[in-house]
Structure 1
Amino acid sequence: MKADYLNLIGLAYRARKCSLGEETIVKAIQQKKAKLVLLASDVGPRTRKKIINKCKTYEVPFEIVDDRETLSNAIGKPQRVAVAILDAGFAAKINSLLG
């Protein structure tokens, strides 16, 4: 189950349906492009608060997932603490696997 959602994150990244980096994710949330935001469980308190507040303000669903190493390995990029999924299909499937 856990590997399934990580595989989907990797697929979404390769399909260019992901946004990485704090500022890019905040911009995607504000422009209503982000359909789901995934935060690593070990993200810093400042980043966590900023992204969660933006998600709540713009009504974008978010999930706290595994640590940054697991999330980074799923997309093949080092030290990533947050990923915004930009495609509704990927977001719905990942959300169903997490829920």
Structure 2
Amino acid sequence: MTQDKWMSLLGLAHRAGKVVSGEEPVLREIRNGQAKLVILAKDASRNTAKKMMDKCQYYRVPVRHADTRETLGHAIGKDARVVAAILEAGFAEKIAALLYE
């Protein structure tokens, strides 16, 4: 139930232009201070996961996990995505609460 909620909210944020996905765009938004929340697929490669976690920790960006890259991609109407960043605080807070582990 909660999975449907966060996925539809992420889809809404994406349609509003408040989500970027893909490793480089997400890293850029983290560095720019625009990323309010990063969602990382649990099946991301170890290298990618470490890079994202280190960057998020350094810039103090909260991270939540999606079960798979397919789940994350599907939520924003794209193919498999390993990582996505939410750029708007309201969406980020709600999605973070729904994805709280």
Q: TM-score, normalised by structure 1?
A: 0.96
Number of the residue aligned with 1:6: 7
> Which whole-Å CA distance do the structure 2 matches of 1:40 and 1:86 have between them?
18
In the other structure, the counterpart of 2:27 is 26
Structure 2 distance, partners of 1:69, 1:98, is 16
- Which stretches in structure 1 are left out of the alignment for 5+ residues? none
RMSD: 0.8
User: Distance in 1 between the 2:25 and 2:73 partners?
Assistant: 16
Listed as ranges, the gaps of 5+ residues in structure 2 are none
Give, in angstroms, the shift of residue 20 of structure 1. Answer: 1.1
Residues paired across the two proteins, number: 99
2: distance between equivalents of 1:43 and 1:49?
9
State how far apart, in whole Å, the 2-side matches of 1:20 and 1:69 are: 13
- Which residue in the other structure is 2:46 paired with? 45
Distance (whole Å) between structure 1 residues aligned to residue 55 and residue 81 of structure 2: 18
TM-score normalised per structure 2: 0.94
| Partner residue in 2 for 1:85 | 86
Aligned to 1:75: 76
